[in-house]
Amino acid sequence: MPGTQFPYPRKSSTPTAYTPQRSIPLHQRRNIKNVATYIVGGFTLLFFVIWLLGGGSPKGPRIPLGTPEVVIVTPLDPNLSQSMVDKIQENRKDYAARHGYATFFPNTTDYDLMPSVPLTWSKLPSMRHALTLWPEAAWLWHLSSEALIMSPGEPLRNKLLDPQTLESLMIVDKPVVPPDSVIKTFSHIRGERVDFILTQDQEGLSVGSFLVRNGEWAKFFLDAWFDPLYRSYNFQKAEEHALEHIVQWHGTILAKLALVPQRIFNSYIPEPDMRNTYTDGQYQQGDFIANFRGCQKDPTRSCDEEMAPLMSRWRELRDSQWKR
Amino acid sequence: MSLDHSPTRDGGGWSSPGLTTNYDEGTARSRGGSPSKKYGDLMNGGSGHVTWAKAKAGSARVQRSNEGSFMRHMRKMSSGLPYFSDRSTYAEKEKLGRGRSWKRMDWRDLPRRVGLLISRRRKYVALLTMVLLMILLFTNKTVNYWYRRTSWLGGGSKFVIILGANQGGGVMDWKGPREWAIERDSVKNKKNYAAEWGYEMEIADMSTKKRYAHEWRESWEKVDVIRNSMRKYPDAEWFWWLDLNTFIMEPKVSLQSHIFNNVGDVAYRDINAYNPLHIAHPPNGTSADPNAPKYTNYLDPEALSAVGDGDPNSINILIPQDCGGFNLGSFFVRRSAWTDRLLDIWWDPVFYEQKHMEWEHKEQDALEYIYTNQPWIRPHFGFIPQRKINAFPNKACGDDRHVPEGGCRTLKADDPEAEKTECGIQGIHYQEQERDFLVNMAGCEWGRDCWGEMYNFRQLSNHLNRGRWERVVDSIRDYFKRRTEANQPQQQQ
């Protein structure tokens, strides 16, 4: 009879004693159980291998090949003589070429400093500009146009930037502004944490030569230092005193700062009439940097004349070291 | 009705003890479907004896086979039945010798029997337990609080509410009863909110202390307070500053659902969207003087971008803007290196010396100044529509422009009419219809009634958030009120 329902479940009328109840037969289950160990083990091994291989690659953004480690920033006054400009550029370019660094020579008048603000302030937008142009560079080095690099063979990494070297060099627990500022440099700071390396002369912090590590902190630091209210405040020594001010008032800046002995990378050349001989920081033969501090600003002095002997000495060094 | 085959017992397809047992003969208890003698005789070809092996085979068969659930239940029911059956039937069953003794009901046996029941209905017991646990979870305050606090569940402990109490009090001013009442209400409001959602709560005493009174820093204590809170709650992420004259209108709304679950949509990064201060954005590295010679723009692409890097995770501060610029009556800061720097640079003696006459709103003006002049700030700055976390009452910052009938949703995007209403980013005033989250009675101490406003808003908040039962009571009360009002004119006539 089509369409009628059978009153009984349609099952075999002669079942076996043990009808399997499970959808997957028992022996298949056992198989899965046996295989499962190997599957899980295999996956674990795979992930472990991936983790091992992946762990080796550096974290954070990849640094493209050919990125300079250091950018040397020297703002140039447009009133400088062309021969002077050439000498300064030659000096830095040679050093940069040896160690794979980059150089940057902006004009001091390139940036909007606001009216009646000393041009020396332009080193800050210059540095910020270099950050924009070389976003992958590790360090920025501001070297004043009054200074010369006197040992072209020494890379900054060996000299200063290596964390261990830096830790051995840095002056801890020293008043930031000599002789008796209550604010002292941190007594415990790790080399990797330092973002700002500079030197101190007899009068205070010296900004003729300083290093800033690229990063968010650098932007904060340079912007804060360059604030219009500091520029308009008429600090006696312009940005140098502004720096002393922010370092003493703002812990987030002091915490990143390392003072190193002046002659590491900012030796001063005594003034020609020996008014100021800079006892501690005076340049001696073999020093890395010779800074003719004040030679451009002081109308009675001539950078060209003062630099002449060291310039010829530098040329000798350069040629002898290239030959080697 | 036709039968395929005769219902033979050994045929197995239809062995159903529940149905086949003859109750009258007292074999009802025959669990496993061992047939009665009579039945067995008939079907087993008159063997006359139920052997153990046979019975066992039958019972195994019955228990293993996949019968319909109906059958199984029938069996269970039948196994329970003898409790209520006639005493005389027991004797009959005893003869079979396979039943258990049911002669005496032993109450000491009850736990075991309950245990047996539970073990048999494990599924249902588990389900019931789950349901009960769920009910407990969702209603129990302690459990709820714990759940909402835990950082990897509700995440409430990631938020700290900092309430600046006692502003301007202390050595400068004595508090009257009204001020005490305001403080009590405001503190209670935030405490309840923090307890509801498992947030941290910090009440900061902002009274003018002597150490600030003769120094420059007064009103920048806000910065110190936030810093101290960051130290006190090292695991918290967002810190919410609140002035005392604020009231959380919607305590049933969590900060997570209100803002932080989709902070990218709630906040706006480009200040040009609403810019009462006319700050040039993005910055171009010059002093914005149109007559100045063309200078080099030295800033990096991120600082020059109107929206930073566009990633909501890079927002480290959330500031509302009222008609006059930034408003720091209610704002969020997030723990980060960036925030440390901002809190550090926020107050500076050189800034202060030059600007303290000009900066009427002190730290608020200072923040606006830093935002304008230090480009590193902008990529991590977020603005939040004022009405989201800091709605003003009418008369503060101009008159209430109201929202259109049916709410802001009726307005289309880019509707020019929106400018004239409180809808969108430029909205400032509290809208009951839109159920704004928080009200800030800013400036009430100058010519307005702080306590009156606070009281009204508290009542309104209670009314808006009343429970279901209260709503029912209210509607009944309204109904009678309307009726008596309708009757009154008739009585007068």
pLDDT band at B179 (very low <50, low <70, confident <90, very high): confident
Tell me the three-class secondary structure of B288-315, residue by residue: CCCCCCCCCCCCCHHHHCCCCCCCHHHC
Q: Chain centroid to CA B90: how far?
A: 62
Inter-chain residue contact A224 with B376, CB threshold 8 Å: yes
The stretches in chain A having pLDDT less than 50 are: 324
Q: What is the pLDDT of residue B486?
A: 83
The CATH number assigned to the domain with range A98-322 reads 3.90.550.10
Structure tokens of A178?
């000599």
Mutate to test the interface with A, among B1, B279, B298 (most CBs of A within 10 A): B298
Q: What is the pLDDT of residue A49?
A: 87
Inter-chain residue contact B376 with A249, CB threshold 8 Å: no
Q: How much of chain B, in percent, has pLDDT values that exceed 70? A: 72
pLDDT mean over B309-319: 93
pLDDT band at B7 (very low <50, low <70, confident <90, very high): very low
| Cα–Cα distance, A63 to A163 (Å, whole number) | 20
Q: Give the pLDDT confidence of B38-67 residue by residue, as tens digits.
A: 444 444 444 445 556 655 555 554 444 454
Tell whether the model's pLDDT for residue B358 goes beyond 70.
Answer: yes
Amino acid at position A60, single letter: G
Which residues make beta-bridge pairs with B77? none
| Cα–Cα distance, B453 to B439 (Å, whole number) | 10
Q: What is the pLDDT of residue A14?
A: 62
Tell whether the model's pLDDT for residue B295 goes beyond 70.
Answer: yes
Per the CB < 8 A criterion, the answer to whether A185 and A257 are in contact is yes
Taking chain A, what is the end-to-end CA distance rounded to the nearest angstrom?
110
Does this model's pTM top 0.80?
no
Q: Chain A residues with CB inside 8 Å of B63's CB?
A: none
Q: What is the pLDDT of residue B107?
A: 81
| Cα–Cα distance, A69 to A158 (Å, whole number) | 13
Residue of B nearest to A252 (CA): B341
A15 — contact with chain B (CB < 8 Å)?
yes
Q: What is the pLDDT of residue B283?
A: 87
Q: How much of chain B, in percent, has pLDDT values that exceed 90? A: 37
Per the CB < 8 A criterion, the answer to whether A235 and A241 are in contact is yes
pLDDT band at B23 (very low <50, low <70, confident <90, very high): very low
A14 — contact with chain B (CB < 8 Å)?
yes
pLDDT mean over B112-135: 86
Residue of A nearest to B352 (CA): A229
Taking chain B, what is the end-to-end CA distance rounded to the nearest angstrom?
82
Angle between helices A303-323 and A82-99 (to 10 degrees): 30
| Cα–Cα distance, B265 to B315 (Å, whole number) | 12
Identity of the highest mean pLDDT range in B78-82, B207-211, B247-251, B425-429: B247-251
Amino acid at position B267, single letter: A
Nearest to A230 among B1, B298, B350 (CB): B350
pLDDT mean over B325-353: 92
Q: How many CB atoms lie within 10 A of CB A17?
A: 9
Residue of B nearest to A115 (CA): B292
Inter-chain residue contact B298 with A227, CB threshold 8 Å: no
Q: What is the pLDDT of residue A15?
A: 56
* Residue B360 or B46, more confident: B360
Between chain A and chain B, the number of residue pairs with CB atoms below 8 A apart is 113
| Torsion (CA) A203, A205, A206, A209 in degrees, nearest 10 | 160
Kindly list the domain boundaries of chain A, sorted by start residue: 98-322
Would the ipTM clear 0.90, i.e. be above it? no
Q: Chain A residues with CB inside 8 Å of B301's CB?
A: 132
Inter-chain residue contact B285 with A220, CB threshold 8 Å: no
Q: What is the pLDDT of residue A65?
A: 76
> Checking phi first, is residue B155 left (phi over 0); if not, alpha (psi -120 to 50) or beta?
left
Among B78-87, B213-222, B256-265, B373-382, which is the least confidently predicted range?
B78-87
Closest C-alpha among A292, A315, A301 to residue A146:
A292
Q: Give the pLDDT confidence of B202-257 residue by residue, as tens digits.
A: 998 877 665 554 455 666 788 889 999 999 999 999 999 999 999 999 999 999 99
